[in-house]
Structures are given as structure tokens and as C-alpha cells.
Structure 1
Amino acid sequence: MAVEEAVAMKNKGNEAFKNKDWPAAIDFYTKAIELDDTQVSFYSNRAQANIKLEAYGYAIADATKAIEIDPEFVKAYYRRAVANTAILKHSDAIHDWKIVVRKNPADKVAKAQYEACQKLVKRAAFLKAIEIADPPSAAEGLDLENMVVEEAYDGVRLKDEMTQEFIDDMIERFKNGKKIHKKYVYQIILAVKDIVYNEPTMVETTVKPDQKLTVCGDTHGQYFDLLEIFRLNGLPTDTHAYLFNGDFVDRGSWSTEIALLLYAYKWLRPDKFFLNRGNHETDDMNRMYGFEGECKAKYNERVFKLFSESFSALPLATLIGDKYLTLHGGLFSDDNTSLDDIRKLNRHNQRQPGQSGLMMEMLWTDPQTAPGRGPSKRGVGLQFGPDVTKRFCEKNGLDAIIRSHEVRMEGYEEEHDGKCITVFSAPKYCDSTENKGAYINIESDLKLQFHKFDAVPHPDIKPMAYANNGMMSMMGM
């Protein structure tokens, strides 16, 4: 009887998977496993749903269990390889790709992935070998003053200061598939790099009477959905501030457009427009998930390098009205970590977050329902329970933390007794998840007002169109 019930649960999981409701699919596969833990397909299917939710650590564990049950089950090796590749553990992935190719020599996709993985490992070793402790800026030798914008350029001209007129024109150009002149791209990135470099690691802001602050989560290169936020909620103004909580780029194929538009607003209103760094404002993720390729395709390599420098200058958190700590990932491995530790963190000494430490935790961690701390479902960072959040908020006089970093089917979720709030602003994420997007409005009473919105149509360019070595096909997009 249990066996039949387990199969029924698996079938329900498959149905939810078909409908792109990954959390529901995982729930059904889990129930199937609880009823019958001997079926390789239950673990393999759950691994694939976890990949869709970017829970790569869980996917690796499920695929490993499937391989223990049946060492000949090729799909499990394939899924474990995909998950390891996704979290940049290429050396682990190579082992599994090799097995898949050996067992399925006719599988052209696996063969291409195996070869791509080998190249990635070689490239990583090469980059490490030529790494300079303090490399010269990509701005060196850039003579902006004498760079000519041709007469034929049909957009609004930019002088020494950002203008609303330039931004309005840029929004329309990007909507119509046009670019801005590369001189203006350089000007925008360099101006914003200087502004954010001089901001503290934790920016502190308040919401005055008759003003509003909107907090947005991941936008991931989904430019047309960003414009939908502005359409529904109003453009940034002197009385309407915005905070974008990381992961502006990668995956979606309009990442340069989003980064340039957000940067232009930052330049126009540095005290009314805030940007936190996310785990995708980092070199290794940009190389894998499309932003580097997109910069090169639309502009040039120097543009990517300048963006990279500006990303590493971004603040890591914003404190709103002394009540809400807003940061991309989440809380810390040590209960003694305080707001003062964030204030004191010199982010300029460490350009990339690395595999451990305060910066990595701020960009990578996730909440869990169980108390205490646990290993990360992503395979990077850690997870923190409601008790960890409660202690942190009490110790630092906070109402809640606001974080992003994870898809939520309703666009946002209040967890940990309302003290941990996730907001995610990329609806129909990667064109492959049936989630809503959300944003949070905060007025001077500091109450959180949640707003959900649906994805809007976009030109027919697939997500990850510029990603490294066929990542798109590998991730099943």
C-alpha cells in the first residue's frame, strides 16, 4: 500500500514540476521518499526540482543518494554534475561528466559539458596564476575627455552630470533594443564607482514624513520587469527613494541595461537611491551566469572590468530607520556578530567574497525553519534558524532583517515570526518558474507595505543567452 501511495505522490510531484511549481514538487517527492526510500527516481526527480530552486547542495545530496541506490543510474550523475557546475565546483563536476560520457557516449550535450568543464577548470587555474594582488584599474589609459560621440548618435547627449532627460531617453533606447554610446557607459560606471566607494559598508538611512522608500529584491537582468515596477510604483524622485538589494545582473539577458539604469539613478540622486551588493555582483558568478559575456557582446571587455571594480565597491547592507537591516543573503555563523561589526568591515580590502568570512555570509546565507544553524542547501554558506534571527534582532534593536537571494512563489515571504523577510523582484524567474515578483514600500511610520506583481512580456531573447558554455541548456532552460 505504501508503495502505491509513494508512486501517487511522485506523480503529483511530476505534475507540480510540469506546472513549474518547484516547492510543491519538492514537497510531493519528499512525501514519496518518506513512504518508500528505495526508489532512485524519487531522489533524482527531487534533485532536479532542487536545481530549479538553486538549492544545489540539496540537489547534490539527492543525486548522491540516488547513485548509492543504483550506481548505474546515469541521470543522477548528470544532475550532480549540473549542481556542482552551478556552484562553480568544476573539479567535482568533471568527475561526474566523465562518467556520463562514458556510460552514454552518444549524449552530445554531456560531451559538450564535459569539454566546457575542462576549459573552465583550466581558465580558473590560469586566472589564479596571473592574479595580481592590486591590479591596475581598467580605467587607466581611458581618455574620456577626448572620446568623440559621433554626429550620427541619435540619443540625448550626456555632459558632466546625469540628467533625468538622459535617463528617460536611455529607458526608451533600451526598450527598443538600442545601446547608449560607450563613452556614456564609461562615464556612468566611473561616476558611480566613486560614489559607492565612499559610502560606508552599511549605509544608514531614514524615511522622512511625506517620503517613501521602496525596497526591491533580485532583478537578475529582467529589464522589462524592472520597468513594470516603476510603472506600478512610480519612478525614483526626490521624495521616492529606492533600494535595490543585490543581484541586478546575470541570468536575465538585459543585465547591462539594468545595471546602467540603476547606476544612472544612483548618479542622479546619490542620497535617494541605494544599491546593496549581491552574490551575483562578483567575478566568478558573472563569468558563469552571463554578465561578462553580455558586456563583451554589447560593449567590450573593459566595460565588464569597470563594472567588476564598481561591484566590489558597493555597500553590503543598508539600515533603514534603525529598524530594518537590509542585506542580500542573511545572518551570520557567530551570534556575537553585531551591526558594529558590519560598520567596521573594510570591504575595500577584499574585492571578492571568498569562501568564508563576514562578507561571504552577508551575500550567501539563507533562512531555515529549524532552530540553530545548518549546512547550506546551496552548497555555499550556511542556513540560520528563527532563534538566530530573534537573538540578532533583539541584540541590535531591530524589528526585522530584509533579505533577497531566493525565489519566493508569491514574490515575498515573512519567516521567523515576521523577523526575517525575503523579497524577490524577478517574476517568472528565468522564464522557467511561475513565481510572482514583489517590492516593499516603507513610509515614515516604518510599516512594511508588500506589493506583488506579475511578469510582463519581453522580446524573444532567452535567459542566459550570454552565459558561459551552454549553461542555459545544461540548467534545463
Structure 2
Amino acid sequence: MSSEAPTIANKDEKATEVATGPTDEEKAESYKNLGNEHMKKKEYTKAIECYTEALKYNPHNAVYYANRSLAHLRQESFGYALSDGIAAVKEDPMYLKGYYRRAAAHMSLGKFKQALSDFEYVAKVRPNDENAKVKFTECKKIVKRQAFERAIAVDKPDKTLSEMFSDLEFIAIEDDYNGPKLEDGKVTLTFMKELMQHYKAQKKLHKKFAYKILCDIDTYLRKQPSLVDITVPAEAKFTICGDIHGQFYDLMNIFEINGLPSETNPYLFNGDFVDRGSFSVECIFTLFGFKLLYPNHFFMSRGNHESINMNQMYGFTGEVTAKYTSTMADMFTQVFNWLPLCHCINNKILIMHGGLFSTDNVTLDDLRKIERNRQPPEEGLMCELLWSDPQEAIGRGPSKRGVGIQFGPDVTKRFCEKNNLEYVVRSHEVKDAGYEVTHNGQCITVFSAPNYCDTMGNNGAFINIKGNDLKPNFTSFEAVSHPDVKPMAYASSIMSLLG
């Protein structure tokens, strides 16, 4: 009997250890606290992982859903953020931060009426809460403004900007203006070199020339198809860049590393030229200038940020209005509607900003037939070209952004086989190296805004190919310094609601 006693005692000790170990609730809180520390360091992916672990131990805690919703918002995964905001409200209808998170996700998706409903509820429950009152008032202004814009919108003849603003040619140039000037109303290489130096010195292009460039680019883009075919000769180099997002000084660094655009050094910029970065005006006029100078050797695809909702939310509209006028902001809206949606190089590489489609039967001819002169719809081919993202899993899934879809390697393979393509190139997502190759080499992401929003610490990248083999060669680069103007400097009135 005595020989069995230690065994019994050991069992009791182990039982005591189990009984006094951390509970599931305590484990959940520990993960939540760790997630909060990652949020402070802006390590959003790690924060999401921690909140997800917390929810495994306590799946009905509204705080964990709300915290994870905020982390998803910071990563622009608005669909996931909305799901977590909805879950937070469901788990605890009295937890007001859940309503804030749901409202922020709705606003990020351009659904201001739904956001207003949440802000209104919080303001009623807490009538003395100044923060709630401000958010409700600001959101209400946006909804009213949108209603007013819809009310005054009438069908107009499809006039070009040149026809609508024919009197702009009579704008006087002040005697003290010493910046670049168009030559006989045309963009020249000399003008472009002077413009870039002018912008580096933080000076502004005269409005007369800015308006003229917009009018000319509008006239040109109207004649382009929705899918532009590009031929790259056998030994010629061709460069593909991703998102620039208003980071003008990093754009200049690309040209420093890879050479200025020319007929022997062609470029394609794959959408999201503006927003977030506070030098978007400088970026877009530089890109439009090169497009006018080298129309057959410089290409631009529309991104999801070349749209009214995104521009109003993320700064471009505010920047254009501050540096020029609200009229010019409206002119940009018309021009962006005419940007091509995708490009195809040598019939073998399809390049679009977002990604692929919710069905398998899409052909290049279908893309050529898209009527693009409009704001991006919430579904369909145009939406998916601008918004979709790849995923590791096979098949398709709901978009983390709440718009478009996520598509797997099997989807990419079938699309390439059906259209006799080697691979697709897209942008739309921050990558640590500035690029990523997935889907067995058939889906390449390129992102050209290093240290995105001055916070992400990522490299930017661009792709060089040659016409004879179309093999992608990647160049990564770090961010360069820029004047002390913070990202989102022109977007505070709306973005302040998303905290």
C-alpha cells in the first residue's frame, strides 16, 4: 500500500495545478492585452492574431470583436472590419464602441447612411458625449451633401472638359510666375523636367497649365478602350509600377533608379496614383504630363482610389481644393472615369489594379466591352478589376475589403488558360518587399509606395520585363525623405470619424 501513496499524491498535485491554472477568461484577457500592445506599435497583423486567439477562449466578448475591427480598419480590410463591428453589437448591444466600429467600416465602404444610423444611436444614448455628437454631425453633413449632389445632378450632354471650360485659355499668367510653361499649349520634355524640379521645390504649377493638362488628357482618354493592348518589342525593356498614393518624392526616386519615361523607356502605372499621401496633385500632374508627352509609351490603369468616395475620404479632393479649386476636383472626377481599366502586354500578361472575377467564363473581349465612364459599381467586372485580391486557398471567398472577391490559384490558372495568358500583374496591396509572387507564379502583386503612409516600413518595387521572354525582374527600393507634410493632411474632416 505504501508504494502506491506517492502516485496518489502526485495525482492530487497535478489536479491542484490544473485547478489553479489560468481560466479561459484570463487567457482571453492576456491575448487581448497583447493585441493592444501590438496596436500601439502599429503591428496590426499581430494584433489581429492576438484578438482572434482571445475570441477562441471567450467567443462572446464584444470588446475583442471591436478591437479586431479597428485593426482590420487600419489594414483597410473593411469587409472584415464590418463583420467584427456587427458581431460586437450583436454580442453586447449596450457596448457603444461596437457601434463606432460598425459605423467606421460602413463609412470606409462609402455607406454613409448606414454609418449615420449608428452615430445617431450613440448620440441619443449619450447626449452629453461631445465625441458622439461631433461624429453624428459630421456624418450627417456628408449624407446631406451627397443627397444635394444627387438632387442637382441632371443629364448633361457628354461634353469634353475643353468644351465645358473653353474660357480657361483666357486665364492670365501673373508677372511673378516663374514656373514651367507649356509650349504652344503642349507638354514637352523640357516642360516635364522643369515641372518635376518645380514640384521638388514645393512650388505649384500655374492653374492655367494645370487646367490645360486636364482638358487634354480628358480628350485623349475618351478615345482609349477599356482594355489597352501594348506591344513590347523583343529586346525592349518595359516597366510596371504599382500604387503611388501621392508619394511624389518616392515617384521621383523611381525615375532616378530606372530612368525617366521615354519612347525607349516605357512605363505602366497600375492605379491608385492619389490619396493618402499629401503630394497627390504633384503625382497626378507628373503622370498625366508624361502620358501626354509619350501617349504610346506611357500607360495608366484606373485604381479603386480613382473614384469620388475614395477621393473625398482619403484626401485627394481636399488637396486639389486646397491647392486649386473645387471645380478642378470635379474635373478630375470626369477624367478618372475615362482611365482604362486594364492592359495586356504582347497578348500574354494582363495587368489590372485589383484582380480576377467571380465567374470563370470571363474573356479579354468581355473586358474590352466594359462601359467604364462611371463611378465604380459595387459588383461586376469593373468592380472586381479594381477591388479583388488573391488568396492562398483554392476557390473564391468573400473580400476582406467588403468589395470585390478573393480568388485562389485555381481561379487564376483557369483564367490564364482560357485567355492564353502567362500570368497576371496586379497591385492594390502593401507588400513588405514591394512585390509578391503567388499562385504558382501566375499572380504577381507590385506596390510602389515605400513606407506607405509613413508608417508601414515596407519597401516599394517595380517590375522590368523584356518583350522576348516577358520574365518579371523585380527592383525593391526604400522610401526617401519628403517635406514635413504628413499623409492624410487633407482628409481630416472625414477620417476623424474612423477612430
In the superposition, relative to structure 1, how do residues 220 and 374 fare at CA in structure 2: closer, same or farther (>3 Å)? same
In structure 1, distance between residues paired with 2:450 and 2:296: 28
Alignment of structure 1 residues 116-135 onto 2, 5 Å: 116-134=138-156
Q: Highest CA radius of gyration, 1 or 2?
A: 2
In the superposition, relative to structure 1, how do residues 133 and 381 fare at CA in structure 2: closer, same or farther (>3 Å)? farther
What SS is found at the alignment partner of 2:436? Answer: strand
Partner of 1:189: 214
Determine which of 199, 210, 213 is the counterpart of 2:238: 213
Determine which of 170, 181, 201 is the counterpart of 1:157: 181
What SS is found at the alignment partner of 1:188? Answer: helix
In the superposition, relative to structure 1, how do residues 275 and 339 fare at CA in structure 2: closer, same or farther (>3 Å)? same
Partner of 1:313: 338
Q: Deviations over 1:59-100 (max 9, x none)?
A: 111122222222222222211111111111111111221233
Name the % identity.
Answer: 49
Q: Is the 8 A contact 1:244 1:275 kept in 2?
A: yes
What SS is found at the alignment partner of 1:172? Answer: helix
The amino acid that maps onto 1:372 is G
Deviation at 1:472, TM superposition (A): 3.4
2:283 paired with 1:261:
no
Determine which of 304, 316, 340 is the counterpart of 2:329: 304
Partner of 1:115: 137
In the superposition, relative to structure 1, how do residues 11 and 440 fare at CA in structure 2: closer, same or farther (>3 Å)? farther
Q: What is the Cα-based RMSD across aligned positions, in Å?
A: 2.1
2:406 paired with 1:383:
yes
Partner of 1:25: 47
Determine which of 197, 219, 231 is the counterpart of 2:256: 231
The amino acid that maps onto 1:271 is N
In the superposition, relative to structure 1, how do residues 91 and 376 fare at CA in structure 2: closer, same or farther (>3 Å)? same
In structure 2, distance between residues paired with 1:106 and 1:455: 44
Normalised by the size of structure 2, how large is the TM-score? 0.89
Partner of 1:414: 437
In the superposition, relative to structure 1, how do residues 413 and 332 fare at CA in structure 2: closer, same or farther (>3 Å)? same
Partner of 2:114: 92
In structure 1, distance between residues paired with 2:165 and 2:444: 45
Q: Is the 8 A contact 2:160 2:219 kept in 1?
A: no
Q: Deviations over 1:13-39 (max 9, x none)?
A: 334333323223223322332343233
Q: Is the 8 A contact 1:40 1:69 kept in 2?
A: yes
Deviation at 1:335, TM superposition (A): 1.1
Deviation at 1:224, TM superposition (A): 1.6
In the superposition, relative to structure 1, how do residues 97 and 420 fare at CA in structure 2: closer, same or farther (>3 Å)? same
In structure 1, distance between residues paired with 2:165 and 2:223: 23
The amino acid that maps onto 2:110 is L
Residues matched between the structures, number:
473
Normalised by the size of structure 1, how large is the TM-score? 0.93
Partner of 1:65: 87
Alignment of structure 1 residues 257-406 onto 2, 5 Å: 257-347=282-372, 350-406=373-429
What SS is found at the alignment partner of 2:170? Answer: coil
Partner of 2:452: 429
What SS is found at the alignment partner of 2:440? Answer: coil
The amino acid that maps onto 1:23 is T
Deviation at 1:473, TM superposition (A): 2.9
Deviation at 1:289, TM superposition (A): 2.2
Determine which of 75, 78, 99 is the counterpart of 1:56: 78
In structure 1, distance between residues paired with 2:386 and 2:156: 23
Q: Is the 8 A contact 2:270 2:352 kept in 1?
A: yes
Q: Is the 8 A contact 1:210 1:239 kept in 2?
A: no
What SS is found at the alignment partner of 2:361? Answer: coil
Unmatched tracts of structure 1, length 5 or more:
none
The amino acid that maps onto 1:55 is S
The amino acid that maps onto 1:252 is G
Unmatched tracts of structure 2, length 5 or more:
1-21
In structure 2, distance between residues paired with 1:47 and 1:358: 28
The amino acid that maps onto 1:111 is K
In structure 2, distance between residues paired with 1:59 and 1:205: 38
